[in-house]
Amino acid sequence: MPAWANKMMEPLKEEGIDPPEDLIKIITPLGDKGAAEYLITLGVNKTVEEIIRYTDEIARDAYENSIPLKNGVLEFLQKTKEQGIYTAILTASPHRFIDPCLKRTKAYDLFNDVWSIEDFGTLKKDQVAIYQAVAQKIGCDLKDITFFDDNIIALQTAKKAGCKTVGVFDGTSSDLVEEIKKEADKYIYSFSQI
């Protein structure tokens, strides 16, 4: 999250626009295109394509070389794979970033599926329909999905769709911990807690 959040703040900084306090909360479920569209509404004087190209250059190195997995994730994924538990990612990050990051950290092959919102057309993580589409792809009921996320809007939407939810600590949403705890069915500070 910090690398993605930082890259999305740069167009605002470059143009001297003060970001709203809840910027990260708003743009996280939107993906790059949706976030770029939102930045334009705040006054960024670039096209969506220009914003994405600009922010990609800022973040590329971090995704390819330095972003770590959250504490306990690799061990959690290894255990779920050994136990035959289906796992997938649904991320707002594009494949061009998330795939190399997951491969570098040895997590990619531990998932049954890796999806970006770009795989679901115009759907975003703040829309119930994307969780319905995921359930359909997996071939299960929404009530049988446990959704982990550090973004309160995505958690609220997944819960509204019928998923069980687990809030995950992230520094970018540390001011929302208590609010996320109230919304999610469970809250963790580390995947080693599971």
Mean pLDDT of 6-32: 90
pLDDT at res. 5: 80
Q: What is the pLDDT of residues 106-163, one digit of tens each?
A: 999 999 999 999 999 999 999 999 999 999 999 999 999 999 999 999 999 999 999 9
Q: Is the pLDDT of residue 43 over 80?
A: yes
pLDDT digits (tens, 9 = 90+) for 58-95: 888 899 999 999 999 999 999 999 999 999 999 988 89
Of 34, 69, 73, the closest CA to residue 166 belongs to 73
User: Does residue 1 surpass a pLDDT of 90?
Assistant: no
CA distance to 12, 42, 83, 131, 178, per residue, from 91 (Å): 23, 24, 24, 12, 23
Q: Which residue is associated with the tokens 């990619």?
A: 108
Residue 176 CA: distances (Å) to CA of 20, 29, 83, 145, 181: 15, 15, 33, 23, 8
Residue 30: what pLDDT?
87
User: What is the pTM (predicted TM-score) of this model?
Assistant: 0.82
pLDDT of 125: 94
